[in-house]
Structure 1
Amino acid sequence: MPHEKDHLSVHRFNGTVTLAQRVEPSSTGSSRPTTSKSSEGVRAATAAEAGHLTDGSAISSQEPPPSRRGRKGFTVHWPFQTQSVATDTLSIFTNNAPALFRRATWNPPKPDDLESTVTSPRDSTLIPDYVVNFIRGETPETVARRKQNGGAKGLRAVDITHQHRPQRSHMALLEGASGGGFSRQHDDGYMHSNSTATSTTTELQQILPGNEKPGKGWRSLSSGWKSGVMLNLALILAILIAGFVCLVIAETKIAFTLGYLDVFTGSCLTARNIDWGLHALINVLVVVFIVGANYIFQVLSSPKRSEISAAHESQKWLEIGVPSVRNFRHIGRGRAALAMGLLALAVATQVIYNSIIFVSETGFDYQLIAVKSSFITGSDFSISNENNNANLTRNELLNIQGLAEQNELTKLSVPACISTFSAAFNNEYQNILFVLSSSSSSDDSLIATFRAGLNASSMSDLSTHTSTTSTQILIDGSPVSFCLAQAILPSNGSCTVNLNGTLFIIVLALNILSLLVTACVLFLPRFVPLVTLGDAIASFLSGPDPATRANPLLSKANLTTGLGGWGFTEGKYWAPTRSPRYLRTASRTQWVIMAVWLFATVALAISALAVTLASQIIDSPVLTAFGTASAHTTYWVPSETPIAALSVAVAIPQVLLAGLYFSVNGLLTTFFLTRESASYAVSPKGTAWQPLRVSAEPVGHQTTSLFLTLPRPISWALAIWFAAMGFVLSQACFVVALTSASEPEMSLLGIGLSGLALVVLLGMLVVLAAVVAGFSLVKVRSAAMADGRALGNPLAFEGGSCSAALSARCHRVPEEAEVWWGKVAWGVVETGQEADGSESVIRHVTYSTKEVKELDGAHQYV
């Protein structure tokens, strides 16, 4: 006679099936008795085939062939203990299927024999798993798709456990199974159990073809956060290839590896336009590195679930969904080093890229001509060696005199004239007439000529004849009344756009390092980060965090003050007094860091603008154009200074823009993290169930996206704005290299400042600050209250992202085992104790696929 509790037994087999032995009921997955007639018939048939089954008796004298699994032992929790899908479909199969399709080791008796077979509640036989799957109407492919997000057990350790759920046909079970998991069944609230959700990866790897194995191959790299890393990798590779092509082309023209390549030589206007275009392109490429580094930094700094659990055990919390340096204390050191290294490479790339292009200008030697007022009316003049130090010919002087008579010369005030000729170089005028206010008895209208500029060999002679103050010029004691200047035509100037070969090689090396580090991120072992809000919610719903149990309204303030924080389980009231603004969702540290970067950038721009204005001694200071050197806004350095070092020094302010980008991006990311979280709460318009947006391998209704937290339009707009600011900064502070037209070996090096570019940069910084401040004043979407008010939002982060506060809101009810697969909303849910209609002062709030209600200030929540 069978044991009275045989229906609770588990049959454990070792190697070839020769012995069956009962174990304690605690080893099984169910204690419910079986009543299916068809299942009893199957057991009877099995007993007839094996001989008889008693406690400790042998099952059969004929050994079946060795198991195809190859492992010495496994445990099978029989699925045929209740009226389950497998039981009912099995009876149909055994009653109607021809013996031709049955396994040789399993020969059920004919239906006529089933009635006479002695059955017991527990007698069973070893059913191959592929037969069970076939009975359910499944194929290896559908099994693989259904289980592709499974857990640790493999095909060699199959655990078929009875599911405590209503009877359903296999067609109903397969409904919605596509592309990664079963969809949520909203009609009757049926949920798949954890054992289904955690079925094996090893099994899938054996069933699936090589190109369909989960988490392997192209599919795992073409979705979620890995697709973003792949995109960054492709962009870096494209930039690197383009750089090498440019290097090869340059080498074919001139051996410039340790020197300079003349990209263009010609008109200064054309050279300036080329310089603008190249710097605009450079700053677009730079933004690719900066944005990509920030993206990967957020991925690498995102914690794994095990790291969060370890932190919570020590009563520490981490940041989820935002780039975080704070997490470095709790994540792997290797990931932290990769993240910081990639940021450093991106910033270095931005600086070096903005250093490789500069414009050298041929300095114009100009002449200073002291004349009487009669000279400009056509009076005669004479030339001698004593009064013609500039070595001008008579025809040149007559040409200048003719221009003066025709009013084609520019009239300058005395202060403007002083500002022009006292500068180290002049790129605006080629001849300047000093018109004296007094006249002598001599009929000669020409007093003297002098050479000025880089090749100012006669400037010493000029100094012996002139004396200047801030208001007047005296030549041989006679004051200058005004000046007339002949402007330089744009076509007359000569400029060269130069490419620094040494720095270009360095930037290519930085690109290679960035490429390698980015590629390493794709192949980090056992790296499953919780990157997005959806990742964290799904993780905490599938495995509730014991550290925040029964404390669903836990806040970051509770953790910092110690009131109602770790270990608090008495329930809390939700009674908001206001709706928070995004200003409060970011931490104070984030605001301080952003303010420091912004203040440093603005202060530098204002200081540079003040210097440029103060250096001009004329009455109405002029803002110099983008990237244009001016005599009084250029600050000279020793001519022996390496131009590569000077170029890098000039580009150092780009670091401020990089730091400002990272801080502003982190701030906006926190805003949108709160925005996404708050959208799951019950709104005044009603409950809106939404799928979880995960960073990789979505299942059920889950979705994935290329962006992590900050939406693409915001991220792109921010990137474009900073690319524009990088270009403006490159034109506001630049290298000035001048050579003499008559003596090319004479040169000057300096740092030029553009007043107009500095003003534009300041305006862009003000606009950026205004946009961030304006967004921070927007109110977070309010949640609906039970009394009809729309006030506050329990899902809004205050003081920054907090893993503990997030996990506290994700303690699902037991009735919903796989809630994270469906479209969810957050609110008050009914538990088993409340379903009978009884009122409870303490209620439960969590995410659910079912109906959720508004929070009531009169109730406590756990």
Structure 2
Amino acid sequence: MGEPLSPSDSVKRRWNWPFDKAKHGHLLHRSKDRMDIQEYELGRTCRSSDSNKSSTSLTSKFVSFLPRGFANRIDRRVKQERSQQREWAVGVLISAYSACAVLFLNIVLTIIAVSMSYPKFGVQDFSSSILYQGKCSTSGNWARGLHLLSNVLGTIMLVASNYCMQCLCSPSRQDIEVAHAQRKWLNIGASSIRNFRYIDRRRVVLWMVLLLSSLPVHLLYNSTVFSALGTREYGVLLASANFDFNNPPNHGSDAGCFEQNISMNMSTFYSEVPKFERLDTQKCINTYAADYIADRGTLILVTNNVTADNGSLRWVSMGNSPQQYSSYSFLWMCQSEPNYPQFIHDDTPGERNCEKFPCQKECKRGDCETVCLGDWSVSSMPWSDPLLSSNMSYSTNSSWAKDSATQNAGATCALDSVRADSFPALSVDYCLSQKVEEECQLLFSLPICIIVILCNIVKIVCMFMTAHDPRKEIFLTVGDAISSFLSRPDMTTEGNCLLSKNLVSMGRSSWERSSKPAKLQPRRKRWRDAVGGPFFAVTIVFCLLLLLMSSVLFYLGVMTLRAKGQSIKPTELWKLGFGTITSTAIIRFCDNPSNCSGTIPMALLANIPQIIISVAYFLYNNMLTTMLLAAEYNDYAIERKPLRVSWAKGLQRSTYYLSLPYRYSIPLMICNTILHWLVSQSFFFVEVVLYDMAGKLTAERLIACGYSPIALMVAILLGFVMVCIILGMGFRRFRTNMPLAVSCSAAISAACHPPPGDNDHALKPVMWGETSAPQVDSSSNGEIATRSVSQPDTRQYSSVKKPLHRANESQTELLGKGNGFEDDGEAIAPVVSSPYTGSCFSDEGNPCADQAKSHVNLLGESLGVGGRRFSEYGHCSFSSLEVSTPSTERLYL
């Protein structure tokens, strides 16, 4: 560690460093046409004089956006924890502070909601309370905005919780040393329940509490605020074209029924008629042929039929009745025979429906014909009908059945629109429509808010308890482990430099220290081999089963729509929209949803698919993380680059992610967000409140779940594409045949026994390969020691593009080409050279061959105990010094 190496002892290498050039000294400008590229020496001279100043991390950049006082406190805490080798605790504290900010906002927003709701709207249902009542567009926009805010806050809380869970699950150097002493291994850089066997119970409990407290966030956070569609009941009247609304006739006995049916007395009604909007027939149909109407009231149909009574209004029907939640709310348009402009009356068993089609193909017993409809006509009925009752006095004698009879007991208002079929049909020429104010609602659920706040508090307590964990030097990434093992090699894995996760998994005997050498396997493995067959199969099968179940549900939903008379053409399904409430796409859990369901149960039911998607995402993310972690580890055999660690020192890279690079994590997060949104639009919470014709809120309301076939279809397509992508990635091959350590602590430590001569390997760019020949030291009772004599290096890093030597061509064939893995640093291409005599590039002969032979002869001079020769044994390791490509024909220790 003392004196710097001479230029002849270091490897000169071009290094593209786009950021913070000033902190990396010893930079030399290259040629004039490449002034933007600089180089420095990879030796002791490139080591930072002050690792604390040169290291940058996510936390150091995060605090720069905070107030100065708070940033200074965090900076002091960082220095304190760094001195105690507990830098990870700072990240946990920042997560806890972020969760505290979310808790503060949740409490403030809940208090604001309560103060807005109860004073204005009075005592309401405890499960949900009104925040706003008015225009549907306003309530919908507020709901979408608050949903976005809740998603942001929920994401912050879940990310902070996941980071703490990763810290709890990640082993420390001490944990690994204890496990390795028992010939057990732990997972590094990936979430694993396996580690629970070797960590203390306190951390396991904290991890489980953080996990369980996340479930309500997935299930309920999006349901804290929601909108309810307000629909208004309306009456339909029929008048002749020459009816004089300015001089209404005296209806006499019909006056009482008029007020009951229209919810206003005659004088008020006739005074409001001049304000009615005139609609032509087509616009009238389009306006009132809607499932739930919010801005329209009483409708007057005007006819030119000469048989119509020009001296009185006729009662037609009632629309938006609460009993019509399971079918169309405009059935009155469909109940006259036989002519309709766009609506067809379809009598199916137990259902009455309307379809918006000018023509329909009807098939009976194999005979099909196309029926097109003409003029729109409706039937009217009198305002009141006689009420018939039995005279029970006749039942006093023995012949009551013979003498029983009915008699007129008075009159009742005609509210049953089905009876309109018995009256003659009259054509409609235009309509008069009453415009009313919308009464949609924005509601919040106080119980759900309280549950979310309590879960938030539990998470914060667990986070602060995690921050007080006394452990030091925990490994959040594989780079953390390599850095530690290079600084202090693990003696339990010495002499097993080709150890892989598969070998370790076979049992403790597979990685006992042994003098038996091993050969490097020539076959390059596929990415799926890093995951393991069982987990890969479980993840793919789970995702495929989820897609299959979704496809079955899509088919059942479409068939249900078809049975209700809805067209299932893609264009018509698209018109139904994403998450749009339609009467034909409401799932009935009982005969009357307003009596068998509540807000919280339906909100939980509507969010159950979100939990299933989260489980699939967890499996998918874990598999992708494992493959990319193995690919990053494998890249060190072909590229020299700094270690990616949680807290950078020297020339190390700071990690802005735990395992997934941005080129993968960002698209994955986008796809996951879109998938969650599509699922929320496919199966969603529905609440429809009913106002009577007078504009008063009734006790009738619809609380159920709705579905959207087109949103479900898009979700299935997206899920299928994601499964295809992960399958394709699983069949890719790694760039080299380097042993797969993946996240296995034993295999990683076995690859970190560098040759002596430099104690700062971890602080510099490193590479994996053959370093030097091990020999048996007679003074250490046969223990394997590492020679300081290096193999001839076949890699020199130069900025000049020249032809590669033939020896390097075979090396390139062995390593393979291309892997698509993201590197935060710059990749450096290997070229042939000698580390002792300068560049091997030459247009004449092969000046490197003789040098290589001389170095091999040096290795052949070493003898072990009892005269046994170890020159044929090599050794592979991560190192900042020269390395060469391992041979598949040579034995390694």
Deviation at 1:659, TM superposition (A): 2.1
TM alignment of 1:598-637, pairs within 5 A:
598-599=543-544, 602=547, 605-606=550-551, 609-616=554-561, 617-621=564-568, 622-623=573-574, 624-635=576-587, 637=593
Matched, 1:179 2:51: yes
Choose which of 642, 646, 661 in structure 2 pairs with 1:691: 642
Decide whether aligned partners of structure 1 residues 594 and 345 sit closer, same or farther in structure 2, where only a CA change above 3 A counts.
farther
User: What is the aligned partner in structure 2 of residue 572 from structure 1?
Assistant: 518
Decide whether aligned partners of structure 1 residues 564 and 329 sit closer, same or farther in structure 2, where only a CA change above 3 A counts.
closer
- Matches of 1:641 and 1:455 in 2, distance apart? 15
- Matches of 1:175 and 1:546 in 2, distance apart? 27
SS of equivalent to 2:697: coil
Higher relative contact order structure (alpha carbons within 8 Å, sequence separation ≥ 6)? 2
Deviation at 1:760, TM superposition (A): 4.1
Decide whether aligned partners of structure 1 residues 391 and 531 sit closer, same or farther in structure 2, where only a CA change above 3 A counts.
closer
User: What is the aligned partner in structure 1 of residue 475 from structure 2?
Assistant: 530
TM alignment of 1:69-218, pairs within 5 A:
177-179=49-51, 217=80
Choose which of 823, 843, 852 in structure 1 pairs with 2:874: 843
- Matches of 2:754 and 2:486 in 1, distance apart? 6
- Matches of 2:585 and 2:271 in 1, distance apart? 31
CA deviation map 1:182-208 (0-9, x unaligned): 99xxxxxxxxxxxxxxxxxxxxxxxxx
Indicate conservation of the 8 Å contact 1:433/1:483, yes or no: no
What letter is aligned with 2:634?
Answer: A
Indicate conservation of the 8 Å contact 1:225/1:707, yes or no: no
SS of equivalent to 1:408: helix
SS of equivalent to 2:223: coil
CA deviation map 1:124-167 (0-9, x unaligned): xxxxxxxxxxxxxxxxxxxxxxxxxxxxxxxxxxxxxxxxxxxx
User: What is the aligned partner in structure 1 of residue 283 from structure 2?
Assistant: 408
TM alignment of 1:257-406, pairs within 5 A:
258=126, 260-367=128-235, 385=254, 390-391=261-262
Indicate conservation of the 8 Å contact 1:357/1:500, yes or no: yes
User: What is the aligned partner in structure 2 of residue 233 from structure 1?
Assistant: 96
Matched, 1:469 2:469: no
Indicate conservation of the 8 Å contact 2:517/2:873, yes or no: yes
User: What is the aligned partner in structure 1 of residue 489 from structure 2?
Assistant: 544
What letter is aligned with 1:515?
Answer: I
What letter is aligned with 2:465?
Answer: C
Decide whether aligned partners of structure 1 residues 284 and 731 sit closer, same or farther in structure 2, where only a CA change above 3 A counts.
farther
Deviation at 1:356, TM superposition (A): 0.8
What letter is aligned with 1:244?
Answer: I
CA deviation map 1:782-838 (0-9, x unaligned): 2xxxxxxxxx330544xx532222222122334444433333211111233776624
Indicate conservation of the 8 Å contact 1:279/1:730, yes or no: no
Decide whether aligned partners of structure 1 residues 347 and 594 sit closer, same or farther in structure 2, where only a CA change above 3 A counts.
farther
Q: Which moved more, 1:489-498 or 1:400-409?
A: 400-409
SS of equivalent to 1:451: strand
- Matches of 1:829 and 1:469 in 2, distance apart? 85
Deviation at 1:595, TM superposition (A): 3.6
Matched, 1:704 2:572: no
What letter is aligned with 1:618?
Answer: G
Deviation at 1:547, TM superposition (A): 3.8
- Matches of 1:232 and 1:740 in 2, distance apart? 47
Decide whether aligned partners of structure 1 residues 656 and 814 sit closer, same or farther in structure 2, where only a CA change above 3 A counts.
same
What letter is aligned with 2:318?
Answer: R
SS of equivalent to 1:565: helix
* Identity percentage of aligned residues: 24
Choose which of 770, 784, 788 in structure 2 pairs with 1:828: 770
Choose which of 613, 617, 624 in structure 2 pairs with 1:661: 617
Q: Which moved more, 1:330-339 or 1:725-734?
A: 725-734
Indicate conservation of the 8 Å contact 2:498/2:518, yes or no: yes
- Matches of 1:486 and 1:332 in 2, distance apart? 77
Decide whether aligned partners of structure 1 residues 565 and 717 sit closer, same or farther in structure 2, where only a CA change above 3 A counts.
same
User: What is the aligned partner in structure 1 of residue 686 from structure 2?
Assistant: 735
Structure 1 gaps, min length 5: 1-83, 86-171, 184-209, 783-791
Decide whether aligned partners of structure 1 residues 225 and 305 sit closer, same or farther in structure 2, where only a CA change above 3 A counts.
closer
Whichever structure has more strand as a proportion of its residues is 2
What letter is aligned with 2:463?
Answer: T
CA deviation map 1:521-547 (0-9, x unaligned): 222112432221122113333443344
CA deviation map 1:679-700 (0-9, x unaligned): 211x3xxxx432222223x444
What letter is aligned with 1:804?
Answer: A
Matched, 1:245 2:108: yes
- Matches of 1:479 and 1:468 in 2, distance apart? 20
- Matches of 1:712 and 1:813 in 2, distance apart? 34
Decide whether aligned partners of structure 1 residues 220 and 443 sit closer, same or farther in structure 2, where only a CA change above 3 A counts.
farther
User: What is the aligned partner in structure 2 of residue 63 from structure 1?
Assistant: none
What letter is aligned with 1:451?
Answer: M
SS of equivalent to 2:701: strand
Decide whether aligned partners of structure 1 residues 402 and 426 sit closer, same or farther in structure 2, where only a CA change above 3 A counts.
closer
Deviation at 1:401, TM superposition (A): 12
Deviation at 1:322, TM superposition (A): 0.8
User: What is the aligned partner in structure 2 of residue 513 from structure 1?
Assistant: 458
Structure 2 gaps, min length 5: 4-43, 56-72, 338-344, 355-417, 774-786, 792-854, 861-870
What letter is aligned with 1:794?
Answer: M
- Report how many aligned residue pairs link the two structures: 634
SS of equivalent to 1:585: helix
Deviation at 1:663, TM superposition (A): 2.3
Larger Rg over CA atoms: 1
SS of equivalent to 1:282: helix
Deviation at 1:241, TM superposition (A): 1.8
- Matches of 1:396 and 1:456 in 2, distance apart? 31
User: What is the aligned partner in structure 2 of residue 557 from structure 1?
Assistant: 502
Matched, 1:587 2:532: yes
Indicate conservation of the 8 Å contact 1:535/1:693, yes or no: yes
Indicate conservation of the 8 Å contact 1:694/1:702, yes or no: yes
Q: Which moved more, 1:500-509 or 1:215-224?
A: 215-224
User: What is the aligned partner in structure 2 of residue 56 from structure 1?
Assistant: none
Decide whether aligned partners of structure 1 residues 304 and 223 sit closer, same or farther in structure 2, where only a CA change above 3 A counts.
closer
Deviation at 1:555, TM superposition (A): 2.2
User: What is the aligned partner in structure 1 of residue 382 from structure 2?
Assistant: none
CA RMSD of aligned residues (A): 4.9
Name the TM-score, length of structure 1 as normaliser: 0.63
SS of equivalent to 1:580: coil
Q: Which moved more, 1:592-601 or 1:735-744?
A: 592-601
Deviation at 1:852, TM superposition (A): 0.6
TM alignment of 1:25-104, pairs within 5 A:
none
Deviation at 1:218, TM superposition (A): 6.7
What letter is aligned with 2:102?
Answer: I
SS of equivalent to 2:511: coil
Name the TM-score, length of structure 2 as normaliser: 0.61
What letter is aligned with 2:219?
Answer: V
CA deviation map 1:284-308 (0-9, x unaligned): 2222223333322222211223333
Indicate conservation of the 8 Å contact 2:645/2:654, yes or no: yes
Indicate conservation of the 8 Å contact 2:189/2:476, yes or no: yes
Deviation at 1:268, TM superposition (A): 1.2
What letter is aligned with 1:591?
Answer: F
Deviation at 1:495, TM superposition (A): 0.6
Deviation at 1:731, TM superposition (A): 3.9
